[in-house]
Structure 1
Amino acid sequence: MIRVGLTGGMGAGKSTVAATFVERGAYLIDADKIAREVVAAGTPGLAALVEAFGDDILDPAGELNRPGLAAKAFVDDESRATLNRITHPLIGARTTELLDAAPGDAIVVQDTPLLVEGHMAPFFHSVIVVDADVEMRVHRLVNSRGLDEADARARIAAQATEEQRRAVADAWLVNHGTHDDLAQQATDLWTQRLVPYELNVRRGIVAEPVAELVAADPDPAVLGTRLTNRLWALAGERATAVEVIGAATGIRAVTALQITARDEAAATELPDLLRAGGFPADGDGAYASADPGRPARVTVVA
């Protein structure tokens, strides 16, 4: 199983990519859907919100009035913290339930609008960003979703920047064409990269790099940082250092990294964690990427 983080700004076309993946067998976890579920009528989550913010956040049918909640929850940092303290644990618990229910050979796609803002990228095997020009996104939000133009621009401006998204992206899908154009990009990514990646992880096989995928890296300059962050997420307290010891400079060049294990006991725990995280043993005493679009080799020293 691999976990794929799917994100992008409002109006970029993320839902089209998610639907395309689902049609091909993805196990979808929708963060927005979970956020609604945990505060639906009759849930402990909604009861907690009413206790914290008052029963005037409910509509006549007893459902959550989201604009009414927003008017109270986003007035200051303390109110926002109260909202997060109630909802975040519930969302996390439900997400864990769904992950635990995923098949062992699943490609789990987690549709997560605030993936970048929440600093969640290192915890996924791969991060996919869907992008579109700001003016195009504003047009879609106004004409398809009925947002006021000023509101649409304000919401876009409040989200992560393109630079921030590129820093964490393993794949970058550009939605400047038709629905079918974007769906085809998603299909190609699914077939050429995600399916082989999942199979490699499940079988513990190092990937054969695919030049076209490597060349399309959204931001090669930060690949080392991206990989370092992923390895820290896998190793956790078992490591005292994770560093790049050889940067990739060509299409098929491999980024070399080194993990310094806390001690011998920690070093013995790392192989299973690395394999599950997308870095199986390479047969030469090191570990290498199972992702055909991201060549990397990892050594562990104690």
Structure 2
Amino acid sequence: MLQIGLTGGIGAGKSTVARRLAELGATVVDSDRIAREVVEPGTDGLKEIVAAFGTEVLAEDGSLNRPALAAKVFGDDGNRAKLNSIVHPRVRDRAVELTSKAPADGIVVQDIPLLVENGMAPAFHLVVVVDADVELRVQRLTSSRGMDEKDVRARIAAQASAEQRREAADVWLDNSATQDDVRAAVDDLWHNRLLPFERHVREATYPDRGGPKIVDYDPEWPRDARRLIARLKLAAGDKALRVDHIGSTAVPGLAAKDVIDLQLTVRSLDDADKLADALSGAGFPVLPDFTRDTPKATDPDPEHWRKRTHASADPGRWANLHLRAAGSPGWRYALLFPAWLRADDEARAEYEAVKREAASRFADIPSYGVAKDPWFAQADARAEAWAKQEGWLPPN
């Protein structure tokens, strides 16, 4: 099943998005609701909280007095950590239980207010962040919930910043306008990204990527790469020695196809094959026909250029994943080429011109790739000369 993380700051309107996703067919797991359930009267969770913070955190009817507990926790890192150690494991276990009941072809949305703060983003196929202007959020919370403005602003300040949320967000939903607007955005996300993404993950397939369209450098590419790298590291575990952003989108200022190329370093291709199912489940199914790189003059033996290739199943983010053995010539070259282009302005401009010209002549990616071969034939030696002159070595 497809796992979606949904988050957003207090007052941003995350609940509106969660409700619409549920109406469309998602299984929504609300961590706030679960957090209330696991500390209801008679639960072990409430007993532990009382043992840790005293009977003054209980209301007259024996339920949790949330304002009293908040007064003990807010601004006290030690007490907050103690509370989290009681509540979070119970919330996690209950969320797993609810998720396991979803259909195999389902889309599970985990509504988690502190998803970013708790570093949970890599565990999901996609993270959706709901945002709104801070002043609008303050106005919503003071008028609709009757909260004190000073308290609202303190809560907003204590949560993740907008920049931290953008770092985690695959999808950014601005909920500053009307509910109709955000519902329309959710509908578009559901039908055009989440449903096809789920199908591709389930079938271990990937979307049609179209032709070799060259676009100007996008400063969001490195951020996209960081999110994917974090997911891949989690999926691959200790079989991944490292994961690097490679290819043209790893070169600042270079126009390129809107494709994030990543290299996952393994000890051997046997390890790469053992990762196939885990990577496919994480949204990167195998590309079975791409098992070798084109040999370079430094090592013309084709056997030394073997690899494994996967592609993203996400229709909203084209990404290729190359698995190569540490120390192999293909592994080394994948790291050398962008390092050279980042350092050599003339080479970078040349390569961009070659890419744009080839893309203008060919509508399919294989022909586009062949058209660049003559430039690569002379560029390889230049990259190697630069590496020797600069003493460049691939990272450990």
Q: TM-score range, shorter-chain basis?
A: over 0.9
Matches within 5 A, 1:211-230: 219-230=220-231
Secondary structure of residue in 2 paired with 1:294: coil
- Which residue of 268, 271, 290 corresponds with 1:266? 271
Matches of 1:269 and 1:282 in 2, distance apart? Answer: 15
Secondary structure of residue in 2 paired with 1:190: helix
Aligned to 2:137: 137
| Alignment length (residue pairs) | 299
Aligned to 2:245: 244
Aligned to 2:42: 42
Q: TM-score, normalised by structure 2?
A: 0.71
Name stretches of at least 5 consecutive residues in structure 2 with no aligned partner.
292-308, 326-396
Distance apart, 1:180 and its partner CA: 0.8
- Which residue of 262, 265, 269 corresponds with 1:257? 262
Matches of 1:210 and 1:128 in 2, distance apart? Answer: 25
| 1:123-155 deviation line (CA, Å, top 9, x unaligned) | 110011111111111111111111111111111
Distance apart, 1:253 and its partner CA: 2.2
Go from structure 1 to structure 2 and tell me whether the alpha carbon gap of 1:92 and 1:178 turns closer, same or farther (over 3 Å shift): same
Secondary structure of residue in 2 paired with 1:48: helix
Go from structure 1 to structure 2 and tell me whether the alpha carbon gap of 1:168 and 1:75 turns closer, same or farther (over 3 Å shift): closer
Larger gyration radius, structure 1 or structure 2: 2
| Mapped contact 1:166–1:218 kept (Cα < 8 A) | no
Q: Does 291-300 or 52-61 show the bigger shift?
A: 52-61
Matches within 5 A, 1:84-95: 84-95=84-95
Aligned to 1:278: 283
Aligned to 2:359: none
Q: TM-score, normalised by structure 1?
A: 0.93
Secondary structure of residue in 2 paired with 1:201: helix
Aligned to 1:177: 177
Matches of 1:185 and 1:45 in 2, distance apart? Answer: 38
Aligned to 1:161: 161
Distance apart, 1:218 and its partner CA: 10
| Mapped contact 1:209–1:293 kept (Cα < 8 A) | no
Answering whether residue 78 of structure 2 is matched by residue 78 of structure 1, we say: yes
Kindly indicate whether structure 1 or structure 2 has the higher relative contact order, using CA contacts under 8 Å at least 6 residues apart.
1
Aligned to 1:122: 122
| Mapped contact 1:271–1:280 kept (Cα < 8 A) | yes
- Which residue of 324, 347, 356 corresponds with 1:301? 324
Matches of 1:98 and 1:273 in 2, distance apart? Answer: 22
Matches of 2:242 and 2:222 in 1, distance apart? Answer: 21
Match for 2:118: what amino acid?
Answer: G
Answering whether residue 2 of structure 2 is matched by residue 2 of structure 1, we say: yes
Q: Does 120-129 or 80-89 show the bigger shift?
A: 80-89
| Mapped contact 1:171–1:218 kept (Cα < 8 A) | no
Secondary structure of residue in 1 paired with 2:262: strand
| Mapped contact 2:248–2:256 kept (Cα < 8 A) | no
Go from structure 1 to structure 2 and tell me whether the alpha carbon gap of 1:126 and 1:75 turns closer, same or farther (over 3 Å shift): closer
Secondary structure of residue in 1 paired with 2:119: coil
| 1:96-121 deviation line (CA, Å, top 9, x unaligned) | 21222221111110111111111111
Matches of 2:133 and 2:99 in 1, distance apart? Answer: 33
- Which residue of 314, 318, 323 corresponds with 1:291? 314
Matches of 1:76 and 1:61 in 2, distance apart? Answer: 27
| Mapped contact 1:29–1:109 kept (Cα < 8 A) | yes
What percent of counterpart residues are identical?
A: 52
| 1:149-169 deviation line (CA, Å, top 9, x unaligned) | 111111111111111111111
Matches of 1:111 and 1:175 in 2, distance apart? Answer: 16
Aligned to 1:147: 147
Go from structure 1 to structure 2 and tell me whether the alpha carbon gap of 1:221 and 1:268 turns closer, same or farther (over 3 Å shift): closer
Match for 2:187: what amino acid?
Answer: T
Match for 1:15: what amino acid?
Answer: S
